[in-house]
C-alpha cells in the first residue's frame, strides 16, 4: 500500500465493511479466523469508485494499457465494472470481460464473455486472492481463449500462497490491500 490518502481510505473501508472475525471455511478449503467479503466494498458506490480508480492508476503506471481487464465470475465482475467505468470517466479506452466457471449450455457455449479478441493483452482482476486457485483458473481460461495475460491485480491479498502460485506461472500479483494493512499477521490464519 502507498501513502496516498485514497489508499488509506480504501484500507479503512475494507477494515470496516469487509473484515469479519470468527471461524470460516474459505473457498480454498482452509479454515480461517477471519473472512474478507470484498463485495461489501466493491458493490458500494464509494468503494467501487476507490477500487476502480486505484486499479486504473496502477494500469496507467505500468506502461502501455492492456486492451481489457476481467476475471472469474462472480467475484471479479464488480471489480471489472468499477475499473471499466472509471476508465470511461477518464476517457481511457479499456474493455472488460468475464470468465465463467462453466461454459453456457446454450448459445456459443464460451467460457470468456465480453468484447475481447484472441491476441489482446489483458490484466486479470480479483476481489480476494487466497491460494490463487480461482485466479489460476481464470488465467487458464483466458489463455485458452487466446488472450495474453500480463498480470493480476487483486483488491485484497490474504497473503496465503496466491502470490507464489501465480509467480510460479510467471504472473505477477499486485494488490491494493493486504491483510498486513489490516493489522493481521499472515501466520495467524
pLDDT tens figures, 48-60: 999 999 999 999 9
Q: Greater confidence, 67 or 103?
A: 67
User: Residue 5's pLDDT is what?
Assistant: 55
Confidence of residue 111 (pLDDT cuts 50, 70, 90): very high
| Paired sense of beta strands 31-36 and 19-25, if any | antiparallel
Q: Does the pLDDT of residue 93 top 90, yes or no?
A: yes
Residues 12-25 have pLDDT tens digits of 999 999 999 999 98
Give me the residue spans of the domains in the chain. Answer: 5-188
Quickly list H helices, the chain.
5-13, 39-42, 45-61, 77-89, 133-145, 162-168
With bands split at pLDDT 50, 70 and 90, how would you rate the model's confidence at 187? confident
Q: Which CATH class is domain 5-188?
A: alpha beta
Beta pairing, strands 112-113 & 121-129: unpaired
Amino acid at each position: 500500500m502507498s501513502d496516498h490518502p485514497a489508499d488509506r481510505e480504501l484500507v479503512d473501508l475494507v477494515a470496516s465493511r469487509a473484515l469479519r472475525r470468527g471461524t470460516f471455511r474459505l473457498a480454498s478449503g482452509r479454515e480461517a479466523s477471519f473472512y474478507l467479503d470484498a463485495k461489501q466494498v466493491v458493490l458500494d458506490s464509494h468503494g467501487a469508485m476507490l477500487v476502480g480508480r486505484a486499479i486504473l492508476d496502477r494500469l496507467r503506471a505500468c506502461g502501455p494499457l492492456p486492451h481489457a481487464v476481467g476475471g472469474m465470475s462472480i467475484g471479479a465482475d464488480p471489480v471489472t465494472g468499477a475499473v471499466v467505468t472509471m476508465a470511461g470517466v477518464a476517457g481511457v479506452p479499456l474493455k472488460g470481460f468475464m470468465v465463467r466457471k462453466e461454459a453456457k449450455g446454450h448459445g456459443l457455449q464460451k467460457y470468456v464473455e465480453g468484447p475481447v479478441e484472441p491476441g489482446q493483452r489483458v490484466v486479470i482482476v480479483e476481489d480476494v486472492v487466497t491460494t490463487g486457485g480461482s485466479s489460476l483458473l481464470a488465467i487458464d481460461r483466458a489463455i485458452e481463449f487466446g488472450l495474453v495475460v500480463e498480470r493480476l491485480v487483486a483488491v485484497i491479498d490474504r497473503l496465503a500462497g496466491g502470490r507464489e502460485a501465480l509467480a510460479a506461472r510467471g504472473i505477477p500479483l499486485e494488490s491494493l490491500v493486504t491483510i498486513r494493512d489490516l493489522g493481521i499477521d499472515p501466520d495467524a490464519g
